């Protein structure tokens, strides 16, 4: 398909006789169309507002099954918000480090002193 094809003699003669489109869009028709669209939109908004006012109840609904406390804002149970999360995290890490520091000391003490003998183990050995 050739988009730009050469113009033959008949087409050139027609272009020279009528160089533009004779049926232009009328400004008056376009303005009338826009005015009609504008008034249609405004009329729809007015009708919609009247329908909304007619359908909207004028007074609060009487809800006997709902207690007033249920309509009030309720706070979640304690604790609500952690005040200083980074400080709490640092305290937690320090406690865990302290526990792990004490663990090797306990292992060394067990290796030095040996495991304590319990009466339960002795009784179990005697029954066998």
pLDDT digits 0-9 by tens, 5-34: 788 888 888 888 877 776 777 889 999 999
Domain range summary for the chain, segments of one domain joined by + = 25-57
**What is the length of the chain?**
128
Instruction: Determine the Cα–Cα distance for residues 98 and 27; give it in Å rounded to an integer.
Output: 87
Question: CA 92, CA 31: separation in Å to the nearest integer?
Answer: 75
The pLDDT value recorded for residue 42 is 98
- Cβ(82)–Cβ(88) under 8 Å? yes
pTM of the model as a whole: 0.33
Q: Provide the 8-state DSSP code for 65.
A: T
> For residue range 86-112, what is the model confidence (pLDDT) as tens digits?
998 999 999 998 888 877 777 888 888
Helix spans in 18-118 (H): 27-55, 68-71, 85-113
């Amino acid at each position: 398909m050739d988009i730009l094809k050469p113009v033959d003699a008949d087409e050139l003669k027609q272009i020279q006789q009528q160089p533009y489109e004779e049926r232009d869009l009328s400004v008056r028709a376009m303005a009338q169309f826009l005015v009609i669209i504008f008034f249609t939109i405004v009329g729809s908004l007015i009708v919609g507002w009247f329908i909304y006012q007619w359908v909207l109840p004028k007074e609060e609904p009487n809800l006997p099954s709902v207690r007033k406390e249920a309509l009030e804002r309720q706070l979640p149970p304690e604790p609500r918000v952690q005040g200083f999360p980074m400080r709490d995290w640092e305290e937690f890490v320090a406690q865990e480090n302290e526990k792990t520091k004490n663990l090797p000391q306990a292992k060394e003490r067990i290796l030095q002193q040996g495991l304590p003998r319990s009466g339960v183990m002795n009784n179990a050995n005697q029954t066998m």
